[in-house]
Chain A
């Protein structure tokens, strides 16, 4: 359990949010030209590191907007919250 500072509504409890997985994964420009392995890499493979990870979150029970956060997976500390389309803060 932790608090997330929604960029639209302010600080709310985690249970109001839904996690949306790793952020900043770019869809390949020409999916048809990829091999099965490369496509699987894009579709399924996620970093899942111990340390700061960039994630997408949705304020599902509030404003229903998507945004990104930088979260330290080892202690659930949130280093930064930023809107969709914005560049991730440098580590």
Chain B
């Protein structure tokens, strides 16, 4: 974690909705097309990457989100030790993927901010600013989508019933969070 400043400093609570940042969490983007890439990632992390569109897979320590046919995001389920900038997972993937020219591994820990939303009003909030149809998404635990909320690009992961992870670029996170607070106060 290079940047120790949390862009979102407080937890906000509304009726049926809670929002806060989870920090620091390791986040990686991995890209690759070959079949060897998929099996190398599977062997290194001891988990299968989701190949079906808009889905995710989870192991004890990591979650992998499908972003595109050749792109995945991997993040750690629990918070990592704060004063570190190197991650075992990244080093392992660098060795087993980048060095063998199978694909690319990029550390995006500082690029993305993970906001967690809890409560039964999450999708009412999203509906106020997103063109995505959440009707099926909300009942499929583990589903993932990339879409826009209030013109900001986001990755949304349905973690559990009434519990959602939202990934947004750091530079947009403060604005999006304040927009969501404004919108949530009027639900």
User: Chain A: residues with CB nearer than 8 A to chain B?
Assistant: 8-13, 15-16, 61-65
CB-based contact A16/B68 at 8 Å: no
CB-based contact B148/A63 at 8 Å: no
CB-based contact A64/B148 at 8 Å: no
Beyond A9-B145, A16-B147, 18 extra complex contacts between A and B, CB < 8 Å:
A8-B69, A9-B146, A12-B132, A12-B147, A13-B131, A13-B132, A15-B131, A16-B131, A16-B148, A61-B146, A61-B147, A62-B68, A62-B147, A63-B71, A63-B146, A64-B68, A65-B68, A65-B69
Give Cα A67–Cα B145 distance, bound, in whole angstroms.
19
Give Cα A63–Cα B71 distance, bound, in whole angstroms.
9
Q: Is residue B67 contacting chain A, with contact meaning CB distance below 8 A?
A: yes
A16-B147, A61-B148 known; A9+B53 contact, CB < 8 A: yes
30 inter-chain pairs at a CB distance below 8 angstroms, sorted by A residue, are: A8-B53, A9-B54, A9-B145, A9-B146, A10-B53, A10-B54, A11-B133, A12-B132, A13-B132, A15-B131, A15-B148, A16-B131, A16-B132, A16-B147, A16-B148, A61-B147, A61-B148, A61-B153, A62-B68, A62-B145, A62-B146, A62-B147, A63-B67, A63-B68, A63-B69, A63-B71, A63-B146, A64-B68, A65-B68, A65-B69
Give chain A residues whose Cβ lies under 8 Å from the Cβ of B147: 12, 16, 61-62
Minimum Cβ distance to chain B for residue A59 (Å): 9
Give Cα A31–Cα B147 distance, bound, in whole angstroms.
40
Minimum Cβ distance to chain A for residue B51 (Å): 12
Give chain A residues whose Cβ lies under 8 Å from the Cβ of B67: 63
8 A Cβ contacts from B48-104 to A: 53-54, 67-69, 71
Minimum Cβ distance to chain A for residue B82 (Å): 32
Instruction: Return the chain A residue nearest B146 by Cβ.
Output: A62
Give Cα A10–Cα B137 distance, bound, in whole angstroms.
12
Give Cα A66–Cα B27 distance, bound, in whole angstroms.
26
Give chain B residues whose Cβ lies under 8 Å from the Cβ of A63: 67-69, 71, 146
Instruction: Return the chain A residue nearest B68 by Cβ.
Output: A63
Give chain A residues whose Cβ lies under 8 Å from the Cβ of B54: 9-10
Cβ contacts B132-151/A at 8 Å (1 or 0 each): 11000000000001111000
Give Cα A15–Cα B152 distance, bound, in whole angstroms.
12
Minimum Cβ distance to chain A for residue B74 (Å): 17
Instruction: Return the chain B residue nearest A1 by Cβ.
Output: B131
Give Cα A83–Cα B120 distance, bound, in whole angstroms.
38
Give Cα A85–Cα B153 distance, bound, in whole angstroms.
28
Minimum Cβ distance to chain B for residue A85 (Å): 14
